[in-house]
Amino acid sequence: MKVLIIGAAGMIGRKLTDAILRDQVIGDRRVEALHLADVIAPVPPASDSVKITTSTTDLTDPAAARALTVWRPEVIFHLAAVVSGQAETDLDLGLTVNLDGTRNILDAIRQTGEGYCPRFVFTSSLAVFGTPLPDVIPDDFAPNPRTSYGAQKLIGEILVSDFSRRGLLDGISLRLPTICIRPGAPNAAASGFFSGILREPLAGLPAALPVDPETRHWFAGPRGAVGLLLHAASVDTAPLGHRRALNLPGISATVADQIAALERVAGPRAVALIRPEPDPLVRDIVSAWPRAFAPDRALSMGFTAETSFDEIIAAHIEDELGGSLPLHDVP
């Protein structure tokens, strides 16, 4: 099987790549070739058994999108996007990358023709929902985005469903929980502080908290997110019908819950590194996002993620900090 990852240089793209190369199968099919594409040149890991190729690709160029489908990958992961904060402050950039880029890769698949119908896994977002929201969102709750990013992702979902209805691809849109803890440097996502208030103190660094501690949200860790993506690449999509977008399992937690988990693991000195720095823009964006889901459709199809922030923090320490905390953070 041939697999394409668009947005492969990003955090989730890199972790997805590593998982595919570790297992060398998706579902019950062996991965023989993997192409990594991004606007930043992906760094290919070494592999003796999977053929790896890379390209520096800008999906806003239709010709570049077509170049990704000529080798007819059976599975395509579309992870590339401008994140929420950028898409809200720069409408043109969000439209160009999140909307035009998605349209271009979908058109490239359609134009490949000759019975080509790949599994297309599209990373959508909880931002397709907006206020007023129930405390727990059921599967039949209507999307109503309150940000440009959410609107762009919802349009992508609709296109994936329509192309699937037409038999042009076998698509599934994943409304991923906010991914926490993201390793590496902070990004421009409005949700970035959810990771920062854990990642920085675990490394002995200060972190800014722009919202009230009682702010509640829906989360999964990087390991959980990769598992959700891989399951989507092989799951039977027949139960989805023409409703190809899925709310996914996750953890409903407040910022205070996150901080309590941090204290259990790293002690009060780590918590003391978090300083309140109110940010009205971030507060307004995040306040319009969901707090909890009842993702019955996804659960019935076998999707799973983490079940506690203690689990997420433990995975971060193992994967990103060599399995232990800096001595000054040990409680």
Q: Which residues are the active-site residues?
A: 149
- Both tokens of 320, joined, read 């990103």
Q: Give the phi and the psi of residue 119 in degrees, each rounded to 5.
A: -75, 125
Q: How many alpha carbons lie under 13 Å from residue 179 in its C-beta half-sphere?
A: 27
Mark out the alpha helices in 80-190 (DSSP H runs). Answer: 84-89, 91-94, 101-112, 148-165
**Which residue reads 């999707």 in tokens?**
303
64: Cα separation from own chain's centroid: 23
Element (DSSP H or E) covering residue 176: strand 170-176
**Which residue reads 């902070």 in tokens?**
186
How many Å apart are CA 141 and CA 147, to the nearest integer?
A: 18
Are 76 and 182 in contact, with CB atoms under 8 Å apart? no
How many Å apart are CA 147 and CA 95, to the nearest integer?
A: 12
- The DSSP output letter for 177 is P
